[in-house]
Structures are given as structure tokens and as C-alpha cells.
Amino acid sequence: MRRKAGIGAIHKQKLEQEKYKDKGTAIQENQFEQMTKHMEMFRTNLEEFATKHKNEIKKNAQFRRQFTEMCASIGVDPLASGKGFWSVLGIGDFYYELAVQIVEVCLATNYKTGGLISLDELRDRLIQARGRRKEHQEITNEDLLAAAKKLRIFGSGFSVLPIGRGKYLVQSIPGELSMDHTAVLQQTSIAGNAYTSVSLLESELKWERDRAQKALDHMVKLGLAWLDDQDENGKLYWFPSLFTACVNSNSC
């Protein structure tokens, strides 16, 4: 018969476990302290880098994107920092100004689009407007998405809708679109025609006819879609917010 471990052996084993636990805790604390020092050093270097390349960050879109990615890697958001060093840098001001211009374009085109505009068309219109200014700054879709986040303070009046394949729509009307409405926009965008129909939604989304008709009727009521009942194949529902993408891809 094997002898059971004695009290002394159990006590010794417990002491060994506690020693290893204390050692592990000490190692973790030391690693955390070292990591904190590295992060602080990186932050300081990042501030020096930003000061040196301030103008290039503001004017060069690719450079600006890489810089904001570096900031995100250490948990710094220069867009949300309104005081101290980051306010002096002025990047937040760039995006706030861009957000105001987004609102201006959206309001100016609402009569045509019903409150939805593609990110590509929005960028084209902003470039035209900003091109008339002396100090022109290159803007990208990433810049527009970052600026659009500032508009969330208006609630559901402004939001960004992903519609697949890296495409987005900016909504500038009150109220949130349902999942069905978003699915209609996504399917229409992927098809590349700027229009859809009840039969297309039945076929592509596997919906019941009543569900497809209800979604389209509501979008027409909101002004997001135009009804074409003159087509020989039946009623078509056109989305003016997708016209630009359609024309650019020669799908219409």
C-alpha cells in the first residue's frame, strides 16, 4: 500500500505553490510597469512627431490616416481631445469643419435623394466645394467616416449605413431604417442597377411578396425611392442615392 502524503508534505507543497504564485504576480507587475513606461515613451514620441509633421498630417490624407492609426494603437483619440497638446495640433478642428460641410451637402441634396447619399457622391461634392478655397486639403472616404461620427450628437438624424463591398450611404433624415430597409439598399447596391422590384427582392432575398412590398412602399413614402410604373416588366423602385454609383459602374 502507498502511504498517504503526510501533513508536512502537504504543507510544503502549499508553501511552494504560494511562492510560485507570488513570483508570478511579481513578474506580471514588472511587465505591466515596463509596458506602461514604453507606452508613455511612445506617446511622447508621437507628440513630437505630430508637432514636426503637423501641416503634412492636416494636408496629406494618407499620412493623416496612418497617424490616426498610430494614435489608436495606444488609445489616443486626437479627435476627441479638445484640450492640451492635441487641441494645439488642430486635427479635431479639421474633422469638425468637415462634419459641418457634410451637413451642408446633405441638406442641399435631400430634395433629390430623400435623405440618403452615397459616400462617394458626398466626397465628390465636398471636393468641388472645397476646391474653390485657397487652402485645399485632400479628403478621403476614411476622413468622411471619421467626421460623420461627430454627427451622432444629432441622434438618428445622421448616420452611416454600410451597404456592402466597402460602400456606404449617409442618412440625413430623422428616424432609423429597419433591417429590411437596409437589406433592400444592400441588395440594390450589390446588383449595381440603382433599382429593384418586388420580384427581385423575392428572388434575391427569399422574401414573401407582402414583406417586399411593405418595405418598398415605406421607402417610397419616406422619399428614399421613386416608383416607376411605366416599365414593361412591372413596377420598378429607383433609389436616387445610388445613381452615382450606378453611373460610375456603367450599370444603368
pLDDT at position 79 is 56
Residues 6+ away with beta carbon under 8 Å from 188: 194, 195, 196, 239, 242
* CA–CA distance, 166 with 143 (Å, rounded to integer): 14
Q: Using alpha carbons only, what angle is made at residue 53 by residues 140 and 88, rounded to the nearest 5 degrees?
A: 90
* CA–CA distance, 119 with 142 (Å, rounded to integer): 10
Q: For residue 211, what is its C-alpha cell?
A: 414583406
Q: For residue 153, what is its C-alpha cell?
A: 450628437
pLDDT at position 10 is 66
Give this prediction's pTM: 0.60
Closest to 105 (Cα-Cα) out of 136, 129, 137? 129
Q: In this prediction, what percent of the chain has a pLDDT beyond 90?
A: 17
Q: For residue 73, what is its C-alpha cell?
A: 494603437
pLDDT tens profile 6-32: 666 666 677 767 666 666 676 776 776
Averages of pLDDT over each 10 residues, the chain, 252 residues = 57 68 68 70 72 73 73 64 50 74 86 86 85 64 83 72 85 80 90 89 94 93 89 88 64 55
